[in-house]
Amino acid sequence: MDHDRAPAAPRARLSDPGSPVCTPDWLALREPADHAARSTALAADLDRRLGGRDTVVVRDLGCGTGSMGRWLAPRLHAPQQWFVHDRDADLARRAAAALPAPATPVVGDVLEADLAGTDVVVCSALLDLLTAEGIARLAEACAAAGAAVLWTLTVAGRVVLDPVDVRDARIAAAFDAHQRRDGLAGPDAPDLAVAALERAGYAVRREASPWRLAAGEPLAEEWLRGWLDAAAEHDPALDADDYLRGRLAEPFTVEVGHADVLGLPR
């Protein structure tokens, strides 16, 4: 790597590659795709497990603006009390105000959350930003609380573009390596989550939850720009600008792999 090379101007407009801090505009842009991708089958299994309870206490870790709650709350038939956790106080307040169920904002490190009395712990697009140790710690804390878990939209390391470009594989490998920087789980997170929950005594189901995007959709271009930013940060020798120009010049589709994981206490 050329350490004297000046950093390239970011290609993404709404996101910073690998940053745990998400802008409300980026979260709003991705929300329809997130809602379309999450596994309704796993949500239905969770709803069946929770049936008959007077009130279900749900904690959403890394809640952002509350997309997970807006998707899941209407799918759970029991009355609910939500606690929405984020390190960003403004996002937590936005999430609490926008949920279709009573919700309380909680500001702080999600791995320090007090899960006592919690029935369900949910998260979305969070686990790949944790380490393997962090995922194991979270699974153990959920098990200690006796809580079910529904962890959604974890990056799974699969990107399929059509038409194919010979540079796709190199860019994907650089992106995955960037996601694993500093010991983060990155695309290994779904496997790590399943293993951690099974060790903690859960019955676990995993379902694919890919985004399916097409050129002309604002999210497709913003995702492409962010994907290239992260790849080029890891591998500055990539000619990411030339690749971006080529992709945007012609129609394309992309499937971006994610995974949803449901864990039910045995």
* The pLDDT value given to residue 2: 44
Distance CA 60, CA 6 (A): 39
What is the C-alpha to C-alpha distance for residues 5 and 240, in angstroms, rounded to an integer?
Answer: 15
pLDDT of residue 23: 83
pLDDT of residue 65: 96
Which residues fall within 8 angstroms of residue 15, CB to CB, at 6 or more apart?
22, 23, 26, 222, 226
C-alpha 120/C-alpha 48 separation (Å) is: 13
Cα distance between residue 266 and residue 225, in whole Å: 43
- Domain residue extents for the chain: 24-265
* One-letter amino acid of 43: A
Alpha-carbon distances, residue 61 vs 46, 81, 114, 119, 209 (angstroms)? 17, 14, 11, 14, 19
**pLDDT by residue (tens digit) across 225-235?**
999 999 999 99
Q: Give the chain's residues under pLDDT 70.
A: 1-22
Our separate counts of H helices and E strands in the chain read 9, 8
Residues 116-155 have pLDDT tens digits of 999 999 999 999 999 999 999 999 999 999 999 999 999 9
**pLDDT at site 17:** 61
Check: CB of residue 196 under 8 Å from CB of residue 136: yes
Helix residue ranges per DSSP H, the chain: 24-37, 40-50, 67-72, 89-98, 132-145, 168-179, 189-199, 218-234, 240-249
pLDDT of residue 12: 59
The class level of CATH for 24-265 reads alpha beta
Closest to 200 in 3D by CA, of 121, 115, 143: 143
Token pair belonging to 258: 């994610």
Q: What is the pTM of this model?
A: 0.92
* Measured distance CA(135)–CA(153) in Å, rounded: 15
